[in-house]
Amino acid sequence: MEIKTDERIINFIKRKIEKSKNVVAVLGIEMLVESGGCDLDTNDENYRVEEEYGFCPEDMLSTSFFNAKVEKFYRFYKKEILGMQMHSTPAYDALMRLHAQGKLSAVINQNFHGLPQDVKLNKIIDLNGSIHINQCPHCDKDFDMQYVINAKGIPQCDHCKVAIRPGIRLLGERVESAMMTQAAVACEAADVLLILGKNMYNDRLEYSAAPEHEQLKVLFTKSEFEQNNKVNFIIRDDICKFLPLIIN
């Protein structure tokens, strides 16, 4: 198993986690990709999607596109977003071990796919919404993901006959402020912050500890260009290979 990170760094992070009482994990796009999902933000994907739909993913996942071209939105959304097949990875197993030890105080999920089905973790903050919670904009009735998938064409509220709003945050919308506060409070209190991949939205959410509070911050990213002087370590190994090394 090739691991690029120096063994001393691995042992250092591992000891910090052993001593920690309060770890917070922030799930990003790399976690999704390692679980079988697809990063629509790569050049190849942008090109493929634009060939097929005439627009890039970023255009289509916006409020203005949803309002103007709801049929095309759902054609893209059902196939490309809801069509991703997700499975668990050893990284999730490691997080479940931390959870069982009572050390994982919160999981901030920046992906809107939710966790793989067999992953049971508490205190999840779905910062960018969830594909599982969809709502009628008129009567607020909730619809699950299966209802959206099964609908022919545009999924409509069975009562009001209007297009259902998908439960994910679209570009152009703000993160709910209560949720943002919850995430910020969790991060501030953490002694170890594991940032597991980048946010699929490019709005940079800054996670930081209270100034007087000592915190180890580790960022996992595959991007060679990523420079971040606000974290202690940048790890470029696969998260699913690395987390099992630092979490017993």
Output 5 or 135, the one with its CB closest to Zn ion: 135
Rounded CA-CA distance 60/50 in Å is 10
* Rounded least distance, CB 140 to Zn ion, Å: 7
Q: For the CA atoms of 215, 220, 223, 229, what is the dihedral angle to 10 degrees?
A: 10
* Rounded least distance, CB 176 to Zn ion, Å: 21
* Rounded least distance, CB 171 to Zn ion, Å: 25
Output 19 or 138, the one with its CB closest to Zn ion: 138
End-to-end CA distance of the chain: 18
CB contact at 8 A, 245 and 7? no
Output 100 or 160, the one with its CB closest to Zn ion: 160
* Rounded least distance, CB 243 to Zn ion, Å: 42
In the chain, the DSSP E strands lie at 23-27, 104-109, 124-126, 134-135, 142-143, 192-196, 216-220, 233-235
Q: For the CA atoms of 183, 185, 186, 189, what is the dihedral angle to 10 degrees?
A: 150
Output 24 or 157, the one with its CB closest to Zn ion: 157
Task: Enumerate binding residues for Zn ion (CB under 5 A).
Answer: 136, 138-139, 141, 157, 159-160
